[in-house]
A and B are shown apart, each in its own frame.
Chain A
Amino acid sequence: MSKPKTLTFAFMDPPFESARTTTFFRLLDATLDAGANINVFAYEGAVALSFVHQKAHGNTVHGRDVEQEGHPLSREWIAALQHKATQIGATFNWINCGLCADERGINEVIDGCGRGSPADLWKFAASADNTLVIGTR
């Protein structure tokens, strides 16, 4: 059996603002479906993707409560991908840029997401089979 491959992704978009975030998470999901390991370096606004205090809300305009609205939270998407990786025996590493987190005061993140620096992106990329940097615009 061949050794699973590893892909590294760098992402900078914040949650709740762009369709790019959804597309990115779909790509991560497809990567796990392919049986590959994943490294993510989240920088700039993307450090908020794993913020532990993200809160779902209802939609009073449409008369829906929190449960009916089913507002998606990126921290839950990350947790779901972590769970999926565990289920299939893949690794799922997520590092937030510490400087970017400090700038934004976002240091409380969900379990399994760490803090680092661009040196971690270099290490991720150096050890991966391929790397995709997703810039904003």
Chain B
Amino acid sequence: MTHYMIIQSQDPFTQVRALQHYDLATSLTQDGNTVRMLLVQDGVSAAHRGAVNPAFEAMLKGGVQVFADAYALSERNIDSTDLHSGIHIAAMDLVARALLAGDKVIWH
């Protein structure tokens, strides 16, 4: 089993490739890997509970652990109560620790 950390900076509303990134995370999980995704920059817009995106929701339900960068949320005035259920707030130390633990880290 491989541990993956995906840093997702793109949102699904302006960057169609974000959908592929969500699908990749879901597929890696289905293959028995541990996958975490940190939403950063515009990537956090999908975390808003008012945002509707089937691929993102499938990823959330598919076992991928999703985190949203506190800094990016703050920049966009998105509060913790505004998030989809199951999304945790984190910071860049999550990525540093994943790299130091030997996880495979991918920046999208």
Q: A residues bordering B, Cβ < 8 Å?
A: 5, 7, 19-20, 23, 26-27, 29-31, 33-34, 36, 129-130, 132-135
Contacts and interface: CB of A to CB of B under 8 A. Distances in A.
A91 to B, nearest CB: 15
A35 to B, nearest CB: 9
Interface stretch (B55-63, B79-87, B88-96): B88-96
Interface in B59-108: 69, 71, 91-93, 95-97, 99-100, 102-103, 105, 107
A25 to B, nearest CB: 9
B56 to A, nearest CB: 20
A7 B92 contact: no
B9 A20 contact: yes
Given A19-B9, A30-B96, 15 more contacts: A7-B99, A7-B100, A23-B7, A23-B9, A26-B71, A26-B92, A27-B92, A27-B96, A34-B93, A34-B96, A34-B97, A129-B99, A129-B102, A130-B100, A132-B99
B33 interface: no
Contacts, number: 52
Contact of A20 (B41, B92, B99, B102): B41
B47 interface: no
Interface in B26-48: 40-42
Contacts of A7: 96, 99-100
Nearest to B17: A137
Given A20-B41, A26-B92, A33-B93, A5 B107 contact: no
Contact of A36 (B9, B71, B96): B96
A99 B97 CA distance: 33
B104 to A, nearest CB: 9
Contacts of A23: 7, 9, 40-41, 69, 92
A31 B96 CA distance: 5
A130 B93 contact: no
A133 B108 CA distance: 10
Contacts of A5: 100
